[in-house]
Amino acid sequence: MGQFHFVTAGESHGKGLVAIVEGMVAGLSLPHEYITRDLKRRQAGYGRSSRMNIEQDEAEIISGVRHGLTIGSPISLVIQNRVWQDWRETMRVAPVDKEVEPVTSPRPGHADLAGAIKYGTEDIRPILERASARETAARVAVGAVARRFLEAFDIAIHSHTICIGNHRAKQREPVDWQQVEGSPVRCADAGAEKAMMTSIDMAKGEGETLGGVFEVIASGVPVGLGSHVQWYRRLDGRIAQAVMSINAVKGVEVGTGFAVANMKGSQAHDIIEPARQGTALPWRRVSNRAGGIEGGMSNGEPIVVRAAVKPIATLGKPLPSVDLSSGEATEAHYERSDICVVPAAGIIGEAMLATTLADAMLEKFGGDHLKETLANYHSYGTSISS
């Protein structure tokens, strides 16, 4: 387990979600409102279900922070589920007197079938509750803690939607982040934004769902996070695992990613040349096809990660399935569901990249108090620029 790590607990329709964060230094300012901001960003996005209007997520900090500053002990966060009252019988912790109707028709593409077999339950409810993407609200809260820490080192993390369905945004550098934050689908291309929203409307009318691709970019990352010496220390591997763990993500690439397979070596790599006068480092890169990582280590360029998000498995027109209790053909289970989660998945991608980079920063620079970590960081920066 890394220097900075976390666990979450809670079910989709249970009392709430809990996250416990370990490894954060003391002395970091962590306002409640800062975490709430990212939770609101996760809930927004065209194509989300009506539940996003009900929850209005907020994370209560119940330990690890005193008078607005972290104190070095585990930080615990609680996000209450406002739909709990409607589910208190179905999700009650204690035994119930009356029979609760089981869910027995698994959804293709979800954890339902494999989970029910693995954990030996005839009712899929316990599986779908924990496998639900609702859990990612806790991750976003943790990601806000990590983001706050990274900001002390001038590291910024943003995400945007590259495509939804077959509608792809035109890539422009630099990305207009203000445009992205104001877009219902978190897209910097206004023309593609309209097409994406129209396709989401059409999918909703057809009882369908849509996937797509989001991109996360971290700027200001120093050279030397991660390591080449062991497979589990490679930064790109750690990032890929973190992003791949997000619900519905089926592919992750760093930098040019899969497109590099069609290039020649002379086209695939980032030329190193002397830097212009007045810059901090004596070299610079002409391009960033590596996505900021070479040999498992950050190379000083922005870290660029993209993820492919499949259409979610809960469809308005359910797919064919089999009833686990009778063995007969049936339709897959359906509950209130999103049509498209790509914009929200980008926010979760930010959180997972932030937690990975926070861990790598603490691994590299150590410290028990933020002042100590900053001193080590500045000392390292002086040593590589002199």
Q: What is the pTM of this model?
A: 0.96
**CATH, range 5-255+290-385:** 3.60.150.10
| pLDDT computed for residue 335 by the predictor | 81
Domain boundaries of the chain, sorted by first residue? 5-255+290-385
Sequence-distant (6+) residues with CB within 8 A of 385 are: 280, 281, 282
Report the pLDDT value the prediction gives residue 375, as an integer from 0 to 100.
Answer: 98
| CA 370 – CA 375 distance, rounded (Å) | 9
State the CB neighbour count (10 A cutoff) for residue 281.
11
The region that residue 352 occupies, defined by phi over 0 for left and psi between -120 and 50 for alpha, beta otherwise, is: alpha
Q: Classify burial at 316, counting beta carbons within 10 Å of its beta carbon; exposed 0-12, middle 13-18, buried 19 or more.
A: middle
Whether the CB-CB separation of 155 and 221 falls below 8 Å is answered with yes
Q: Which amino acid is at 145?
A: V
Whether 321 shows a pLDDT value over 90: the answer reads yes
Strands (E), 24-166: 59-63, 65-66, 69-70, 75-80, 156-164
Instruction: Report the pLDDT averaged over residues 39-63.
Output: 81
pLDDT digits (tens, 9 = 90+) for 71-114: 999 999 999 998 899 999 999 999 988 889 999 999 999 999 99
To the nearest whole number, what is the mean pLDDT of the chain?
A: 94
